[in-house]
Structure 1
């Protein structure tokens, strides 16, 4: 029996949320993002006609579309509406994976013999739009890759159903850029040897592709041939992420304590970005030599940026550590997590800051967390003895 996998994509989600609360924004070029030195988090179709795209510097977007209205994003609004959508889907679908704040995969295999998979999905989509007021596009196919590509195409051709016998004919004429794992560098590499369509890529020997681009070559060849056995992972929302440091000798050295806290923040913030989370609540924990334990927390605007979180942690620690007594443990916890489709807070950070974080994260991912870090946080050397990394779901 063929699998039945649905991909749901909320259309221009941030823009649609803003228009839901302010009808005057309908029909005009709209850009969600930071100030003049920030980047585009999302943009309306009216702005896209001028060449504006997500992650583009704001100043460049304004040159392309000077009449556009720029708004700072409201992550609390987006998170609340995303939660509403999730609840509607989970109530109806047997298996749901929440890929991001505005993307969902559903495994409805077997539904066809009872109801009709496409009809069932269409009625679910209508219910989501009716109850939330937000538009969406969906595609139904045999795996996650084809359904996601189908959603991208469906935004111009309406919702799509791509049965197994039509998968290859659907994929063949499309650009290789439509394959989710193909980035700019891979596209340029393959284009130089004349591989620009999925058909050409699918006909290339998998071994040759692996020699050319490494271990991902075989996976890319499979996707070009419509092969993807990845399961739909049941959705469970993570509640918090935290780390603690227990000293071998109790300490009262405030400078040392602050340096370790900064190292903790840097590690946790990197993990947030790697897993595409944003935090809204920061908690600092201390334990005195006599085992008295105290905590203090603060709400922050949704972010995963080290420099913003470090300032909050530093302020909390200053307010919390009032007794001149040695400490045996300190800890940091980020909670109130929401999914995001970007790595750092695009609403507040500049283009330069975005580039810096992306470069640092690439180095950490490739060479390890210690490959590059702030000098202030270098005192924190995470290892199995002095760090407890907690992942609560």
Structure 2
């Protein structure tokens, strides 16, 4: 059994005399020692910052250190992040704020500051990329890393390099992170959730089949609530229930995801860590202070969201080929409608007009608490909004919008607005 001290980074073959006691590092005495028979051979990692938004807020305000902190919207919004103290009260991400405050009435609620979190996230990413170019971002605060072949470069196995990395993140940036280390992305992601916060967990190839067998079926990536219900109805509750089936049987029953079920259930995942993973969608949404049922009021909310989506598309030189409208009823039922465009677009006006059409199909008197607009099927921005004989006015629309963009870039976003932006 190989051991690693996460404080002095000693890698050794020592085994504690009494297996009932936690090992301590023979060099520095730290109890933060992890052991695994495959420790020196595992090289695919998932690093996830702990309660990231809340951790950043606590870092910036030491008075919050011993208080439950919730980062989220107003009473009508949802929880973006909760510190671990707040989680002890039952508060979780995406929980409605009124439920979170009922569970933890003494929580300190902080409005999200995405610009600050993005800046800190970039600092974390830079430290990751300093140890390997193979970093695949998953979100602002988590990523996969492939450290295969870096032992000689860093003077130690990937596990040791990762321990040094999260120590740097903690001391230099001021937030903590947990590490999952395995031989595949699927299992590395699972491992990173096993020992939070400040955790370091490993899943080796020899133990993977037995480890997975007893887990609930939704541990497999892609098995959401609806699909899980379907699998349970078919008698598949745990991963082990998949093992009697061969791949063609699962594909025949569940389509393309059947292959994933077959291989992941056996601990097989040959996906590579892709440092330049393709963005799949761009969206924006807002939660109302009070439920809205009037179609005109709902439509009024759309414009600012369409402008946000358009701005993000232009900033990333992308164009969207599909427009999706998202609504959430007062009973928290989510409704989506989408439409594929003839040509990909960057224009807020095009996104707005398409989402208006979609809104008319669902604004039937029900009360809604949230509305969102998104675009997917992303293409290179060079393909956006070509001249159209069917819509000759599009060229003028594009010309006006680019003029507005130029003014805003020089004088700020509030320098010029369309009439529909006014209250």
* Corresponding residue for residue 341 of structure 1: none
* 1:58 is the counterpart of 2:30: no
Inter-partner Cα distance in structure 1 for 2:306 and 2:198? 46
* 1:165 is the counterpart of 2:206: yes
Native 8 Å contact 1:149 1:179 kept in 2? no
Unaligned runs of 5+ in 2: 1-39, 286-300, 317-325, 343-352, 361-383, 389-393, 399-423
Inter-partner Cα distance in structure 1 for 2:97 and 2:84? 16
Deviation string 1:293-337 (CA, Å, 9 cap, x unpaired) is xxxxxxxxxxxx954244679xxxxxxxxxxxxxxxxx9664567
Larger radius of gyration: 2
* 1:359 is the counterpart of 2:335: yes
User: Which of 134, 146, 150 is the equivalent residue of 2:187?
Assistant: 146
Question: Is the alpha carbon distance of 1:68 and 1:225 closer, same or farther for their aligned partners in structure 2, counting shifts above 3 Å?
Answer: same
* Corresponding residue for residue 247 of structure 2: 206
Native 8 Å contact 1:149 1:180 kept in 2? no
Q: CA RMSD in A?
A: 3.8
Deviation string 1:255-286 (CA, Å, 9 cap, x unpaired) is xxxxxxxxxxxxxxx9413xxx99xxxxxxxx
* 1:374 is the counterpart of 2:350: no
Inter-partner Cα distance in structure 1 for 2:75 and 2:86? 17
Question: Is the alpha carbon distance of 1:75 and 1:220 closer, same or farther for their aligned partners in structure 2, counting shifts above 3 Å?
Answer: same
Unaligned runs of 5+ in 1: 239-269, 279-304, 314-330, 338-348
Native 8 Å contact 1:9 1:103 kept in 2? yes
**What TM-score comes out, normalization by structure 2 length?**
0.60
User: Which of 220, 233, 242 is the equivalent residue of 2:274?
Assistant: 233
Inter-partner Cα distance in structure 2 for 1:115 and 1:312? 46
* Corresponding residue for residue 78 of structure 1: 117
Native 8 Å contact 1:181 1:220 kept in 2? no
Native 8 Å contact 1:105 1:144 kept in 2? yes
Larger RCO of the pair (alpha carbons < 8 Å, separation 6+): 1
**What TM-score comes out, normalization by structure 1 length?**
0.64
Secondary structure at the aligned position of 1:196 is classed as: coil
Q: How does 1:12-161 map to 2 (within 5 A)?
A: 12-112=51-151, 115-155=156-196, 158-161=199-202
Inter-partner Cα distance in structure 2 for 1:203 and 1:119? 38
Question: Is the alpha carbon distance of 1:332 and 1:5 closer, same or farther for their aligned partners in structure 2, counting shifts above 3 Å?
Answer: closer
